[in-house]
Amino acid sequence: MQTMTTKIQQTDLALIQLRRSVQLFNLKDYISATTLAGAANEIFGQIAMANKGYNSTDGDKWFWDGMAKIYHTAKPSRGKIIQVNNKIKNVLKHCNNGANNWIEADWENEAQSQIDYAIKNYMIAFDTMPNDRIIKKYVNWKWM
C-alpha cells in the first residue's frame, strides 16, 4: 500500500491551526481552541524570534517588569512568564504525574489568550495581520 505525503510550510500549518482555533472558539469548544492556538502560538513565536529577535513574551516581560518596579518586588524571569502563560495549555497536552487529576481553569479566557498570543506573534513575525477572513473577523470582534 502506497502512502501519499505532502509538504506544508510551518507558517501555513500554524495558520491552519490558528484559523481552526478561532472557529472552535466561536463554537465554545475552548479546550480544543486552546490546544490548537497554543501550537500556532509556539510556531509563530519561534518565527518572530528568528525574524525579529523578540516575540509577544517580551511585551509581557516589559509589563511585569514595570509592575515589579511599581510594587518594589523582584522582576519575574522570562521563563516564569512563559510558564504562567502556558500553564493550562501544557496541562492540556501532558499528564506529567500519571494521575487522573481535575483541571480547573477559565477555559474561555485561556483559549482567547492563546489565540491572541498567536495573532500577536504572527504580526511581529510578518509585520501584518494574517490574511484570513475568520481571523480578521475575530480580531475586529475582540480587539476593536
More confident residue, 144 or 40: 40
Residues of the domain holding 110 = 10-92+106-142
In-domain check, residue 3: no
pLDDT digits (tens, 9 = 90+) for 96-118: 666 677 888 999 999 999 999 99
Q: How far apart are CA 92 and CA 66, in angstroms?
A: 31
Q: How far apart are CA 78 and CA 96, in angstroms?
A: 22
In-domain check, residue 2: no
In-domain check, residue 123: yes
In-domain check, residue 1: no
Is 19:3 a contact under the CB 8 Å cutoff? no
- Name the pLDDT band for 95 (thresholds 50, 70, 90): low
- Name the pLDDT band for 1 (thresholds 50, 70, 90): confident
In-domain check, residue 100: no
Q: Of 62, 41, 55, 64, which Cα lies nearest the Cα of 116?
A: 41
The tally of domains found in the chain comes to: 1
In-domain check, residue 98: no
Instruction: Give residue 143's pLDDT.
Output: 78
What is the model's pTM?
Answer: 0.88
In-domain check, residue 33: yes
In-domain check, residue 116: yes
**Is the confidence at residue 9, as pLDDT, over 90?**
yes
Question: Which of 59-63, 86-90, 116-120 has the weakest average pLDDT?
Answer: 86-90
